[in-house]
Amino acid sequence: MSDARLAELTRCLPGLRLLTEPGDLEHYGRDWTRRWTPSPLAIALPASIEEVQAIVRWANLQHVAIVPSGGRTGLSGGAVAANGELVLSLERMNRVLDFDAVDRTLTVQPGIILQAVHDAARSHGLIYPVDFAARGSCSIGGNIATNAGGIRVIRYGNTREWIAGVKVITGNGELLELNRGLTKNSSGYDFRQLMIGSEGTLGIVVEATLRLTDPPPTSQVMLLALPDMDALMQVFALFRARLTLQAFEFFTDRALEHVLAHGAQRAIEGDYPYYVVTEFDATDERAQDAALAAFEHALEQGWVSDGVIAQSDAQAAALWRLREGITESLASRRPYKNDVSVRISAVPAFLQEMQALLAREYPQIEVVWFGHIGDGNLHINVLRPDDLAEEAFIAQCEHVTKLLAATLQRHGGSISAEHGIGLVKRAYLESTRSAAEIALMRGVRKVFDPNGVLNPGKLFADG
């Protein structure tokens, strides 16, 4: 091994799995953004907490930056290693460690994928309710690092609501056990919550205790076709008032076109500008009648043009695919993504401004957007035309993002709803956070990572 720093790491940890082949460096050095050329020093794959601690201590002594890595499904460049960092992949730490039937918690290692957590919870007759389309590849550690949300936030909230405790390794290699699974704990600052959403800049999650809950009641899934954007919030208000919603997701006709081209099946004949997939409790005939009545009222008001309700689990899955398949259907186009949020009450006004902004600034560029309307989160995907160079395309998108950030600031919104800041959005952090907040955030980071070895360049532009 030619690099003396890596030779020293191998000497300290002779059993550590360390990868340096070009293919491995490229694979582990990037996330789904694909905008930066991976250039990590090496890939470390520890198998224990002790190995993670030793790696962090080595990094401090050798002045090597660390990029923590999970499933690398992130969309903000948070797991990118483009400047000679050591990628610390947690994929080997992927086991269920414990289930507590009394506390109804599941303790897991950070590299376990979300789907495996769902399966483990179901094996005990419970659920872990955080869910999204990348469930088969994203890891719990990454979910915690970005406070991931997903399709059921309207009912269950974000990841932070379901983390009973975490163990983390700080930037100087210290192991902290935060909250220890307690339901009540008023003994000072809650560093557990500080770690959630910190994007690996304060500590590396090495173990997590997840809260589980009862499976939701019997539900039904409905697909709605809407005539215009104004109808979105009217239908949402109606359904929220009359039904117990588990999810309320919308997408545009352009999003539908891409999903259908990717293999999904059309469920409603005809073309409409907006669609909603909603899932709601349907435990008895009364609840089902309420859903039908809500649909008929929306139809009479002209808020809905057509709709279909799933009659089987297979049909429900097919309807959900129309929403969940969007990101996958766009992946080959490597879209420039915006992930924004505003208060639910601000959604109508923001949508009007946002749509006008996108139409004005992207006259010849296709924009595909969808979102979790019930929690104010919108995902904007900008597709590069074949005749536009990548560099010019990114420059134009960044110009529009700056305008979008200003619009969000006026509406009290956030430039990152659930994907984190990473490299992509760090220039726009000031649209969401005040100067005083950012100064405090920098100070907190300095406390937990005094030498700046954990994910430098992410969140803040200058490390």
Measure the CA–CA gap between 425 and 431, rounded to whole angstroms: 10
CATH assignment at residue 27: 3.30.43.10
Indicate whether 449 belongs to any domain.
Answer: no
CA-closest candidate to residue 140, choices 164, 122, 123, 104: 164
For residue 1, pLDDT over 60 is answered with: no
d(CA 341, CA 415): 7
Same domain as 251, residue 204: no
* Same-domain pairing of 101 and 207: yes
Whether residue 228 is found in the same domain as residue 199? no
Q: What sign has the CA pseudo-torsion 439, 445, 450, 452?
A: negative
**Mean of the pLDDT values across residues 288-314?**
96
Q: Is residue 109 part of a domain?
A: yes
Report the distance separating Cα 217 and Cα 117, nearest Å. 20
- Name which residue leads in pLDDT, 112 or 460: 112
Containing domain of residue 321, as a range? Answer: 219-327
Q: Is residue 256 part of a domain?
A: yes
User: Looking at 154, 180, 211, which one is the last position of a domain?
Assistant: 211
Tell me the β-bridge partners of 205.
168
279 and 219 Cβ atoms separated by less than 8 Å: yes
* Mean pLDDT of the region 362-376: 91
The verdict on 136 and 183 lying in the same domain is: yes
One domain, residues 104 and 205? yes
pLDDT(447) > 70? yes
Q: For residue 133, is it within any domain?
A: yes
Q: Which of 211, 229, 248 is a domain's end point? A: 211
In a domain, 236, yes or no: yes
**Number of folded domains that form the chain:** 4
- By CB atoms closer than 10 A (0-12, 13-18, 19+), residue 314 is exposed
Q: What pLDDT is attached to residue 356?
A: 94
Question: What per-residue confidence (pLDDT) applies to 418?
Answer: 86
The enclosing domain of 116 has a CATH number of: 3.30.465.10
Domain match, 341 and 294 both: no
Q: Which two tokens stand for residue 207?
A: 């173990």
Report the sign of the C-alpha dihedral through residues 416, 419, 421, 425, in that order.
negative
Query: pLDDT exceeding 70 applies to what percent of the chain?
Result: 99
- Quote the tokens at residue 108: 């897991």
Beta bridge partners of 168: 176, 205
**Of 242 and 419, the one with more pLDDT:** 242
Closest alpha carbon to 76 in 379, 433, 355, 386: 379
Please identify, among 285, 301, 327, the residue that sits at the C-terminal boundary of a domain. Answer: 327
Q: Is residue 452 part of a domain?
A: no
pLDDT range class, residue 216, cuts 50, 70, 90: very high
Neighbour-count burial of 263, counting CB atoms closer than 10 A to its CB (0-12 exposed, 13-18 middle, 19+ buried): exposed
Query: DSSP for 41-83?
Result: SEEEE--SHHHHHHHHHHHHHHT--EEEESS---SSSTT---S
- The model's confidence at residue 150, banded by pLDDT at 50, 70 and 90, is confident
User: Does residue 463 lie in a domain region?
Assistant: no
Q: Give the tokens for residue 384.
A: 């590069």
- In this structure, of 1-5, 121-125, 355-359, the range with the lowest mean pLDDT score is 1-5
pLDDT confidence tier of residue 28, bands split at 50, 70 and 90 = very high
- 453 within a domain of the structure (yes/no): no
Query: For residue 376, what are the CA distances in angstroms to 75, 279, 289, 346, 351?
Result: 19, 17, 28, 8, 10
Residue 319: how many other CB atoms lie within 10 Å: 24
CATH of the domain at 422: 3.30.70.2740
Q: DSSP of 158-209, one letter per residue?
A: -GGGGEEEEEEEETTS-EEEESTT-S---SS--HHHHHTTSTTSSEEEEEEE
Q: For the chain, what's the residue count? A: 463
Mean of pLDDT over the chain? 94
**Most confident by average pLDDT, 76-85, 127-136, 294-303:** 294-303
Rounded average pLDDT over 423-448: 94
- Same domain, yes or no: 131 and 202: yes
Q: Please compute the mean of the pLDDT values over residues 430-456 and round it to a whole number.
A: 96
* CATH assignment at residue 270: 3.30.70.2190
Instruction: Tokens for 102, please give them.
Output: 């009394």
Among 32-36, 96-100, 236-240, 382-386, the range scoring the smallest mean pLDDT is 32-36
Q: What is the pLDDT of residue 2?
A: 66
pLDDT score recorded for residue 463: 55
Given a contact cutoff of 8 angstroms between Cβ atoms, the answer to whether 142 and 132 are in contact is no
* Together in a domain, 14 and 104: no
Could you tell me the CA-to-CA distances from 231 to 102, 226, 274, 444 in Å, in that order?
A: 45, 7, 9, 44
Scan for tokens 């995902």, then name that residue: 379
Q: Does 82 share its domain with 148?
A: no
If pLDDT is split at 50, 70 and 90, which confidence band does 462 have?
Answer: low
Residue with tokens 């919104």: 413
Question: Mean pLDDT, to the nearest integer, of 24-51?
Answer: 93
| Over residues 19-26, mean pLDDT | 96
List all residues 6 or more positions away from 328 whose beta carbon is below 8 Å from its beta carbon. Answer: 133, 262
Phi, psi for 162 (deg, rounded to 5): -120, 15
Helices 230-242 & 285-301 angle (0-180, nearest 10): 150
Extract the tokens encoding 276: 């909603």
**For the chain, what is the largest distance between any 2 Cα atoms, rounded to a whole number of angstroms?**
74
Claim to verify: residue 20 and residue 83 sit in the same structural domain: yes
- Is the domain of 16 the same as that of 111? no
Q: Are residues 192 and 151 in the same domain?
A: yes
